[in-house]
Amino acid sequence: MALVTGSTSGIGEAVARRLAADGTRVVVHSRRSTEAGEALAAELGGAYVQADLAVEDEARALAGSAVERYGRLDVLVNNAGLSRPIPHDDLAAASPAEWRRLLEVNLIAPWVLCTAALPALRRSPGGGGIVNITSHAGVRPKGSSVPYAASKAALNHVTRLLAAALGPGVRVNAVAPGLVDTPMTRDWSGAHELWRERAPMHRPALPADVADLVASVLASSYLTGEVIVLDGGLNLT
């Protein structure tokens, strides 16, 4: 059984659909999109839970609800995140309040979910798996804003630290996509132009590309502590 956060659209929805197609029961989550979440859960034969991950009690309850519904938890995919474009040289716009908002959801919430899910993941017969969806911006000095990039870089390092601490019973990896063509990024014309012109694959990723890699990472019983960049080769340029 898998819990995928932020899974009513974009990357999260694609991951939920891929895991369900592979035969995994999925708990769908969102902060607001209740109708879409319930519809997707019904389509996939899973369940839907609404929670605001910026609220610690709700994040912990989300993991607990997943276990209560199915009696087990084998996979946690920390996909939910926040992003707001801020020019890197506009230091005033990247206020302490903006830093706190992004860190709360992009870094602290995954930590809370990992700690809340850990007892169940340790009981998973084949060993539990955690995949954190981070970002190319956490690997290279780029991204929609400095706070966003820093939050993803921190989550990459937390991924490695948890892998070292939780093995062999729980594997922890990260998938770090570059630009992904989702509703949130449709208007990011500069980024789309960059990927079309500079990346060897000459396009951004599709959500299904990310979902395929997440499924492959989870299928490996030996892979842990890796941050896998999925950027169509842009890192080569």
b/e for 188-227, b at 16 or more Cβ within 10 A?
Answer: beebbebbeeebeeeebbebebbbbbbbebbeeeebbbbb
Taking alpha carbons only, the member of 46, 49, 80, 44 closest to residue 64 is: 49
| 124 half-sphere exposure, CB direction, 13 A CA radius | 24
Q: Which DSSP string do the residues of 169-189 spell out, in sequence order? A: TEEEEEEEES-B-SGGGTT-H
Structure tokens at 146: 């400095």
Pairwise CA distance, residues 126 & 147, whole Å: 36
> Is 222 designated active site?
no
Sign for the CA dihedral angle at 85, 87, 90, 96 comes to positive
Q: Are 4 and 12 within 8 A, CB to CB? A: yes
Longest dimension (CA), the chain: 50
Cβ neighbours around 61 below 10 Å, total: 15
Q: What is the DSSP letter of 111?
A: H
Supply the residues annotated as catalytic. Answer: 148
